[in-house]
Structure 1
């Protein structure tokens, strides 16, 4: 984690390291399996590396374009800039660029490969609904992602999933090695399809587990920086409640960007919630609120 006044999170650092290590092992095993099957994967690897480079270096521009965000000056959004200025000073970190997205879905996100190329974006729906203290809690959470270099780590972690996904699609639609190619009696295309699908599934679950923990880490770091976990808890509760009033069509349009958002646009409830939790980018609201309540109790005892 880059040095700032955000509280260090050894748990997050450990999980990032372990996840990347496991994904690295999985990548090596995957490539070895492809080589053993006689597949020349250089084209797929080059394509995946190109996609990774574009995502890594242009993540801020891509995210703003996809979510209809626009950069704003201090003159255009003085109150929003004031909050970001204050948090940057409190955290002793460079001030990120500030953007606003014209959307009634109440949300926010941060992106950028490092602190010098970071941007925080808030939707107009969130600006209308949150009180100043709640907005500060949300922005402290988002700037914690920047301090933790979450975007860079998650981009790198997604590389194996991109490779495996491409291999799966190519095997599915073209059949590697031709329809008549076989390995010990089994079609090579089918073997590659199954191996690629398995690798994609494992890498997907590992990155989603890391994504959920990084949200908890950002909640904790943001709450400790502002010393107001109750404001962040209030924002979480309000945003989650307001989501129910947004048209389902708008939420579904926002759902593909859940990994970026402060709170998921759509979350599963009821019987499907248990299984959906494995695939979710965010921990359950109840878990996030429980952590913030524990932090509030800890701060109260230390007062």
Structure 2
């Protein structure tokens, strides 16, 4: 799997199935909430009205504000997260762009650094993605290990994970917000649905980490990906900023429980060693290129995110 070119079209999952699942999940939550509310005080008519209103209000609110939030995500991160954007000819940016080209991304992502021992990717889609690498990782990891981390984040980009996670969070907020109009649901149903939706989002987060690890390993090697993860887990505890945005990070909240944002190091290492997810990545055969050509200019016709300042 080392030095493989991944068929990005086969893993660039549409967000439509995720959106449909979120709509269906919100409807199930609304129906359940109405059923437990009607017998205890508000009456069947009021419960039915609440349900009918929510069937369109929650999906609409979750979708509209989800995409608005995703559209603002990169600009907000640059303004609030202490990110230093790199010029497109910066050596690190060139490395990110070279790996992105091997994934078939036609728009080179923005690249930035931050002072934390972590990395993440954000953006509404691959055309306005931002890949952020912690400066301590650049200083202390080998080039191959940093490339594995970059590949992990690009795996999130090419798989549309950023949009799927953003919509999942937005729908969760919409459902909890809407059910908050009922005093009974605030007391019981809202609490239960909040936790159920949170567990779903966390499960989705853990699952996507395995796939992103597989992409990082395919672009470098599984040994480099494993070593990079091992070094990440030897670093100091997460900072307040990292805990606040743990779902975005390559290293998040780990405890081996349903409340973890990420799988444990052992779980991720085992998945890489056994190539559980790597074997399922569709690849395109490509002859080995000399090292200097990997940082050359992108193919003609490739779009450049920096040009759209």
TM-score normalised by the shorter chain: which range applies? 0.7 to 0.9
Q: 2:98 matched to 1:86?
A: yes
Q: What SS class does the counterpart of residue 113 from structure 1 fall into?
A: coil
Q: How far is 1:36 from its partner?
A: 2.1
Distance 1:44 1:291, change over 3 A: closer
Q: 2:112 matched to 1:99?
A: yes
Q: 2:58 matched to 1:58?
A: no
Moved more, 154-163 or 49-58: 49-58
In 2, Cα distance between equivalents of 1:25 and 1:44: 11
Distance 1:200 1:23, change over 3 A: farther
Distance 1:99 1:257, change over 3 A: same
Q: Which residue of 2 aligns with 1:24?
A: 23
CA displacement, residues 75-97 of structure 1 (integer Å, 9 cap, x when unaligned): 5xx32122112202222212111
Q: Which residue of 1 aligns with 2:197?
A: 203
Moved more, 4-13 or 114-123: 4-13
Of 211, 216, 223, which residue of structure 2 is paired with 1:230? 223
Calculate the aligned-residue CA RMSD, in Å.
Answer: 3.2
Q: How far is 1:48 from its partner?
A: 5.1
Q: How far is 1:199 from its partner?
A: 2.1
In 1, Cα distance between equivalents of 2:270 and 2:7: 19
Q: Which residue of 1 aligns with 2:242?
A: 254
Whose RCO is larger (CA < 8 A, sep 6+)? 2
Moved more, 17-26 or 153-162: 17-26
Distance 1:53 1:9, change over 3 A: closer
Q: How far is 1:196 from its partner?
A: 2.2
Contact in 2 for aligned 1:144/1:222 (Cα 8 Å): yes
Q: How far is 1:222 from its partner?
A: 2.0
Distance 1:283 1:256, change over 3 A: same
Q: Which residue of 2 aligns with 1:247?
A: none
Q: Which residue of 1 aligns with 2:294?
A: none
Q: Which residue of 2 aligns with 1:270?
A: none
Q: Which residue of 1 aligns with 2:304?
A: none
Contact in 2 for aligned 1:7/1:224 (Cα 8 Å): no
**How many residues are matched?**
259
For normalisation by structure 2, the TM-score amounts to 0.72
In 1, Cα distance between equivalents of 2:12 and 2:198: 18
CA displacement, residues 172-219 of structure 1 (integer Å, 9 cap, x when unaligned): xxxx4xxxxxxxxxxxx1245422222222221112111111110011
Unaligned runs of 5+ in 1: 177-188, 245-249, 268-272
Q: What SS class does the counterpart of residue 120 from structure 2 fall into?
A: strand
In 2, Cα distance between equivalents of 1:195 and 1:19: 24
